Chains A and B, each alone.
Chain A
Amino acid sequence: MTGRIEINPITRVEGHAKVTIDLDERGEVARARFHVLEFRGFEKLCEGRPFHEMPGIMARVCGICPVSHILASSKAGDRLLGIEVPPAAVLQRRLANYGQVLQSHALSFFHLSSPDLLLGMDADPRTRNLFGLVAQDPDFARRGIRLRQFGQRIIELVGGSRIHPSWSVPGGVARVLSSSACDELKGWLAEAYATVDIALTRLKQILDRHTEEVEHLGSFPSLFLGMVDDEGRLAYYDGRIRIVDAEGNVVADRLDPGRYAKYLDEASESWSFMKHAFYKPMGYPVGAYRVGPLARLNVATTAGTQRADRELREFKQRSSGAVCASFHYHLARLIEMLHAVEKIEELLDEPELKSHEIRAKAQLNRRQGIGAAEAPRGTLFHHYEVDDDGLIVRANLLIATLQNNAAINRAVEQAAKRFVRADGLQEGMLNRVEAAIRCFDPCLSCSTHALGQMPLSIEILDAAGTVVDRLARPDQV
């Protein structure tokens, strides 16, 4: 029996996507693909706009990580002005970025993935969610909600609003950070450390029960890409690109993010709105690489903060080379949260943070500007070309999830082959395929510059393409 299974939509991910699973004559999985179904066309719709407006417009690429887009966009704008941004502005931007890493990772872990991990892959889909978690473990759920709240509160106090703050602009930032704000944020630190600790402990405890998932939800060798500073420490706001291979060997180092087009490129396929990025010297599709928490921990020599480094050393012992199991994105995410809280504490003590010198003004001095930053899901590039008057002529965005596209596809296929049986199809099988996707915390909104959700149905088609079986979720009848 040949046929096709479609998982549509993928839920508890940020975006509109589906999976198709093609079956061979014996009813076994021959191929599985991950399709992103949303598209908004930011590269085009920003054409003709003044570059000063770009942070505001580009924030709307994604409501989950708007700060990353604002930062990459402002940095591209800084380049267009050709100036050095005042130190206070850089500190503010860093602080907001860590706030963002914290809130986004909290969302991914507590709100979206922990139901799988803590309630179980096969739990009742009706309660396998944040609210189910609230019912079963209210304290843990509340902690998760509050950890995300802390991250959002940082953004709110620094940027003026939690989502799409229009504060970071070409040349610096537009708001002075008050002492009272810093004081309030310091008050959150103790609870944040405690919550991350509890989450780390819980996750490590259950890893033993998830050996199947660790092995089969996207465990394969690949390249990893992320930004580190000159000492090889994690660098989210600025740093240079390092690429390592599955063995942990550095393939390329100290690459200038501003010259990304020299070593990275993209491919388009008709079956997905999400493009596929690859490392140019190796070509498409072999040059596919992974970005994001797992990649960053694989490329970084050290985290650069005490507690995170302790966790990082333990993490690196999980493999002789790079950690290749995509399931460990979850763990990497928690370690990054710990690192973020430490960095936030560090930054809040910086006296310069509250300085009133926050914005450098200049006329347009360059025609091209590229800004890069580590977004929660991986390295983010914004590339603008402007005309003589500073109006956008061409924009290109290279987005984290897009760079994971090939890996997600591979993980989906691996999970499908391992868990999906066409005869006796069960909901839990498919949830594992989705869980493979959730490891990457794909922000489909970002990656296709849009986002959405679809109803789920799985249809098994025969060779002629007619539906021979249809699996509905239990609640769907």
Chain B
Amino acid sequence: MDSQGLKPRLATIWLGGCSGCHMSFLDMDERLIDLALRVDLCSSPLVDVKEFPNVDVTLVEGAVANEAHVHELEIVRARSRIVVAFGDCAVTGNVTAMRNAFGVEDVLTRAYRSTSAVVVGVPDGADGMVPRLLPRVRPLHELVKVDYFLQGCPPSADEIYTFLNELLEGRTPTIRRFG
């Protein structure tokens, strides 16, 4: 897929995570302004464009934890030239995947049934109002091809900047850490 304009098109998306990676993205601070000149941030939780466009690079934060995530990830993969697993949850499942040692039912019961004084309903997705949880939280690459892995909880702003910079300069970013 070719970029439409001159600037490479960048998107970010968050799945099952804490948004810390996005915050770390914002921690690039004034370099964001520089970045805005060099890339076109087409889609992101930070902007109002909601239908996912065709882009060159997508940073995906978070693990795949529910059925909606699976659907979104498929769209992202289909419309992105490069998919980056952005942060530990996307790369390994991280803390989000700690629930895997327990079953979905146990987790929902603990969170909703046994802590609320009033239980009108439990959001198990049965009524279609919220997405069903997957039985197992999974890292991105178990579901789609991932081109780069950017580790860290979260990756530091410097790491994100260096990574994007390498990518923009046409070089292959190298890994520096695990976890």
- Taken together as a complex, chains A and B put the C-alpha atoms of A128 and B46 apart, in Å, by 10
- Taken together as a complex, chains A and B put the C-alpha atoms of A149 and B23 apart, in Å, by 11
Q: A14 contacts B19, CB within 8 Å? A: yes
Q: A148 contacts B116, CB within 8 Å? A: no
Question: B146 on the interface (CB 8 Å rule)?
Answer: no
Question: B22 on the interface (CB 8 Å rule)?
Answer: yes
Question: A260 on the interface (CB 8 Å rule)?
Answer: no
Q: B120 contacts A476, CB within 8 Å? A: no
With contacts A266-B117, A267-B117, A455-B72 taken as known, whether A62 is within 8 angstroms of B94 at the C-beta atoms is no
Q: B30 contacts A149, CB within 8 Å? A: yes
Smallest Cβ-Cβ distance to B137: which chain A residue: A40
Chain A residues positioned under 8 Å from B167 (CB to CB): none
Q: Which of A37, A148, A456 contacts B50 (CB 8 A)?
A: A456
Q: A128 contacts B48, CB within 8 Å? A: yes
In the assembled complex, the CB of A71 is this many whole angstroms from the nearest CB of chain B, namely 16
Number of interface residues of A (CB under 8 A): 76
Q: A476 contacts B50, CB within 8 Å? A: yes
Smallest Cβ-Cβ distance to A41: which chain B residue: B107
Q: A12 contacts B116, CB within 8 Å? A: no
In the assembled complex, the CB of A83 is this many whole angstroms from the nearest CB of chain B, namely 28
Question: B118 on the interface (CB 8 Å rule)?
Answer: yes
Smallest Cβ-Cβ distance to B21: which chain A residue: A63
Residues of A bordering B, CB below 8 Å? 9, 11-12, 14-16, 20, 35-41, 43-47, 57, 60-64, 66, 107, 111-112, 125-126, 128-131, 134, 138, 141-142, 145-146, 148-149, 152, 161-164, 265-273, 275, 280, 284, 396, 431, 445, 449-457, 472-473, 475-476
New A-B pairs, 10, CB < 8 Å, besides A44-B107, A45-B107, A455-B72: A15-B19, A44-B99, A152-B29, A266-B116, A268-B118, A268-B120, A269-B123, A431-B48, A451-B18, A452-B17
Task: Offer 17 A-B interface pairs, CB within 8 angstroms, sorted by A.
Answer: A38-B66, A40-B99, A44-B102, A60-B18, A66-B18, A111-B26, A148-B26, A149-B29, A152-B27, A161-B156, A270-B127, A271-B127, A445-B18, A450-B65, A452-B62, A453-B14, A457-B51
